[in-house]
Structure 1
Amino acid sequence: MSDNSQISEKPPLPHWFKVAAILALVWNLLGVMAFVGHIMMTPEMIAELPMAEQALYSSVPLWATIAFTIAVFAGALGSVALLMKKRICYHLFMVSLIAVIVQMYHSFFMSNSFEVYGPGGTVMPIMVIVIALLLVRFSAKGKDNNWFA
């Protein structure tokens, strides 16, 4: 006689899971769009910016742009994996968070973005960090609760 009481079933997903996963994907796709807009800036478009923004834009080092690239694409892939309920979403969100921190280190400590944009210019970067942290936490909770395949 076989004992089926040892077989554990996956716990049901919370009713808000799909909504949160879709919002994560939308947020990260907006990040991809921001990245594409950033790299598609032509010299003519840069020349139309105020001088302080032109200097800020042209002084971004390659490593900060690479961090931006990794942050947005790892976040977007993590969101797709989250929607598909795949455990790898946690690792992708961790990679994205680390890249966000590297990118924001440049923005906050190595560039003069605060002088150029003022205190209001820190709102979006702080939001990006907070949401990246929340996505790591959300995916860790899903991993811990065995929501993923």
Structure 2
Amino acid sequence: MTEAVKTPWHLWVVGIVSLVWNAFGAMDYTMTKMGNAEYLAAFTPEQQAWFTSFPMWANVGWALGVWGSLLGSLLLLVRSRHAVTAFIVSILGLAISCIYQFGMHYADLMRMFGTFPMIFTAVIWVVLIALFLYARAQAARGVLR
């Protein structure tokens, strides 16, 4: 008989904080894709056109990144080992999104938004990789089933 592994307190902290963090990304994605005028009013018409001009594959990358992270956070909270896979999917989605935004349209991005997207995306990368490593470590310890 295997002994149940007690849930460490930090799993709840990481899970809840990451869920809130990723909920903001999900809200941004949803409001942008639904064309919510009140939400998009913070952007210039040129910036709004930028968001709606993404090709399908870049939108798929954005969706995988956002929803993979949100799912990963939820799976952490229910102690599922599949959180690791969800964060891997999110990393793949973020990479696809970055290829489009920074690899193919860097000059346009910088002209319209300045350095903020690059800095914020670097923060997203750091958080996402940390979440993946955390989930992988908890799965290895038997905390995630």
Q: TM-score, normalised by structure 1?
A: 0.83
Counterpart amino acid of 2:56? L
Identical-pair percentage: 23
Structure 1 counterpart of 2:35, from 17, 20, 41: 41
Structure 1 counterpart of 2:82, from 85, 88, 91: 88
Q: What is the total number of aligned residue pairs between the two structures?
A: 143
How far off is 1:8 after superposition? 4.9
2:71/2:86 contact within 8 Å kept: yes
Q: Which sections of structure 2, spanning at least 5 residues, go unmatched?
A: none
Matched, 1:138 2:137: no
Bigger mean CA deviation after superposition, 88-97 or 51-60 = 51-60
Report the secondary structure of 1:131's partner residue: helix
C-alpha change, 1:47 and 1:14, in structure 2 (3 Å) is closer
Matched, 1:110 2:104: yes
Matches within 5 A, 1:1-149: 8-41=2-35, 49-111=43-105, 112-149=108-145
Distance 1:125 1:51 in 2: 22
Q: TM-score, normalised by structure 2?
A: 0.85
Higher-Rg structure is 1
Counterpart amino acid of 1:91? T
Bigger mean CA deviation after superposition, 77-86 or 114-123 = 114-123
1:2-36 CA-partner distances (Å, limit 9, x unpaired): xxxxx553443432221111111111111110110
Q: Which sections of structure 1, spanning at least 5 residues, go unmatched?
A: 1-6
Over the residues paired in the alignment, what is the CA RMSD in angstroms?
2.4
